[in-house]
Amino acid sequence: MSSSIVEILSADEIRRTIVRLASEIDERCRDLSQVVLVGIQKKGVPLTMMLAHQIEVLEGVKVPTATLDITFYRDDLDLIAVRTPGKTDIPMDLNGRTVILVDDVIFQGRTIRAALNAVNEYGRPKHILLAVLIDRGHRQVPIHPDFVGKRLPTAREEQIKVYFQDPDGRDAVELIRATT
């Protein structure tokens, strides 16, 4: 069995999408001093850094960032491949803040459900919002992103691969289809 790869977003399209997402976050969250961007390990972390940088470029405000590993909050550990937990680094108080969870792709919603549980270990935010680069549908839980880079309905058996310059050496989003 082989696969075909289709580029969904080029590096330039990712850059433009991040500019748009940063603008949408700024419009929705008027008081950026109360916002914390929390990147979900692994690919949500570089996306978080890009969004924080773009918000600073647009508004001159340095929005704090944090990283969150949700491995031990998942309800499907027995169904997924063994993984080494990433690092959680939330060096600020989340109480009363607007937390924006950031991830590269939302699919079934289980990662975000786990992230919501994990965030509660670090305080009680005033609001929790969700920003994703790609929304591919197929939810198993009632979770929907507040900020979406691209909605991309997919077949369940298809995969989405996101590449960022750091750590992958290039920026791209690809759709991978199994072919016979």
Gap between the Cα atoms of 71 and 53, Å rounded: 27
What letter does residue 152 receive in the DSSP assignment? -
pLDDT number for residue 29: 95
- Per-residue pLDDT reduced to its tens digit, 33-82: 999 999 999 999 999 999 999 999 999 999 999 999 998 886 665 555 55
Is the pTM of the predicted complex or chain greater than 0.85? yes
- Per-residue pLDDT reduced to its tens digit, 5-22: 999 999 999 999 999 999
pLDDT number for residue 30: 86
H-type alpha helices, the chain: 11-28, 44-59, 110-119, 165-168
- State the DSSP string of 82-110: -------B--S--TTSEEEEEEEEESSSH
CA neighbor of 24 nearest in space, from 116, 145, 143, 125: 145
pLDDT number for residue 83: 61
The C-alpha angle 17, 28, 96, rounded to 5 degrees, equals 120
CA neighbor of 148 nearest in space, from 112, 103, 99: 103
